[in-house]
Chains A and B, each alone.
Chain A
Amino acid sequence: MRLALIAVSILWVAAWAQESSDPGTAAAIRALEKQWTVGQARNDNRALDMIFDNALVYVEYGRLVSKGEYLSRIKDQTANLDQISMEPMSVRTFGDTAIVVGTYTESQVIRGKRTMQQWRFVDTWVYKKKGWVLVAAAAAPVAQ
């Protein structure tokens, strides 16, 4: 049953991905998603500041945090390049809006023990004067 559900999910995500209307935009958004991951891993607040909208709605572990709060946390955390492992994502554009759906696996060491959790996310990007900026990001933990 679980295998069938996974197969259906993969087929659906693949179908959704194929409907992405603009390959150039999709590539640009994927590049920004990568910049975000790398920027976070390297505590590069300057890079993140460029790609996050000031009115960003970011939900982290079920809690709403502002852009300032998120950047402060990133600045203070220990740099860890393999903390987030991105997986395939789909990008769909609607005019000046792009919706990204995908998964990532988060690796954390808690009390000396490494834990892995997969998350499924939806990110929303909007094209503004300076280019694409992230306006919302939220994820739900994938049930094991």
Chain B
Amino acid sequence: MNKFVLITVTLGLAFSQAPAQSAYDSEIKSRLIALEQLVRVQALPSGDFNTLNAVLADEFVLVTFEGQAQSKTEFLAYWQSFDTLHYMVQDMIVRVHGDTAIVTGRFQMSGVQRGKPFARQGRFVDTCINSDGRWLIIASVSTPAS
């Protein structure tokens, strides 16, 4: 009897927590999509390095479209080489794993870099971590679309 009660209570708790977890994940997903929009669609094209500096973790690592690894400092310097930049993202998907989240989506970017026009399209995968309530991007990969 006691075992039956214990199982019932355990199952009840598990099911009662599921909607709360789902709501939490849903909120995190919305926040991270907004974060990606802020970074890629607003901060990068407008050269808003204060926002980038705040959102990218100090240990941030990027693997670029050309397969090069860049630290946060190198990345911020690299972005200053763009004369103009237009950036679009679509089809974003977020997967939450506790205090870690993966965001992936497709991107199109075009503009002028060091006087030369360019256009690229591909897919990005970002790893974000929750650091004391703030979500930071810790790693990012951009790769050409197939």
Residues of A within 8 A of B (CB): 5, 9, 12-13, 16, 19, 53, 55, 57, 59, 61-64, 92, 94-97, 99, 101, 118-122, 124, 126, 128, 135-143
Contacts and interface: CB of A to CB of B under 8 A. Distances in A.
B90 to A, nearest CB: 12
Contacts of B64: 140
B42 interface: no
Chain B contact residues, majority secondary structure:
strand
A140 B61 contact: no
Contact of B127 (A119, A124, A143): A124
Contacts of A5: 68
Nearest to B146: A62
A8 B7 CA distance: 59
A139 B64 CA distance: 9
B110 interface: no
A62 B122 contact: yes
B69 A12 contact: yes
A86 to B, nearest CB: 16
13 contacts: A59-B123, A63-B145, A64-B104, A64-B123, A95-B129, A96-B98, A101-B69, A120-B63, A122-B61, A136-B125, A140-B144, A141-B144, A142-B66
Chain B, interface size category, equals: 20 to 34
Contacts of A137: 125
A64 B122 CA distance: 11
Contacts of B69: 9, 12-13, 16, 101, 120
B83 interface: no
Contacts of B93: 57, 64
Contact of B97 (A61, A92, A128): A128
B143 A139 contact: yes
B113 interface: no
| Interface core residue of A53, A101, A118, A122 (most chain B CB under 10 Å) | A122
A130 to B, nearest CB: 13
B71 interface: yes
Interface in B45-87: 59, 61, 63-69, 71, 74
B139 A99 contact: yes
A126 B139 CA distance: 14
B89 interface: no
